[in-house]
Amino acid sequence: MPHKKIVWTCSVCNKPVEDDDGYVTMEMAQAVRVEEERAAWAGTSPEGVTAVTADTYPKSAHWQVFHIDCDPEPDREAYSFDVGRIRSAWAALAWTAHLMKKRWLAATDWDVLIERVAATHGGTRGLNSH
């Protein structure tokens, strides 16, 4: 079976993003802020995340996909890469391994982005069977 090409969709216009026309991006200041907020939260919530405290846990920094012309803040400090560099499941796996080495990854929703891509492209069959 041939490998499916990942189709990235712009977070603003919801249209496909072609190679060299856009990127996957995450605002670094947001990731740093989330790390700081979570550290402060942990100091006030020694029991950790529970059903009672879950709604106060700081939300993750958000990964987005933009066409170059659709990005509402193109000059922000961000971690970004061209969509053409992550068009296959193997590339997504390689990017995930690369990003796992970044201390700030846990402060982001990379897992949500990858799960959404996998679901869109049929890659989640059987995940909930165990």
Torsion of CA 84, 35, 56, 44, to 10 degrees: 170
**Domain residue ranges of the chain, discontinuous segments joined by +:** 22-125
- Tell me the pLDDT tens digit for each residue of 21-34: 999 999 999 999 99
CA distance 125 to 118: 9
3-state secondary structure of 6: coil
* Cα atoms in the 13 Å half-sphere on the side-chain side of 63: 24
Residue 129 confidence (pLDDT): 45
pLDDT, mean over the chain: 89
Q: Are 113 and 86 in contact (CB under 8 A)?
A: no
pTM, entire model: 0.84
Q: DSSP state, 16? A: B
Q: DSSP state, 9? A: B
- Tell me the pLDDT tens digit for each residue of 60-77: 999 999 999 999 999 999
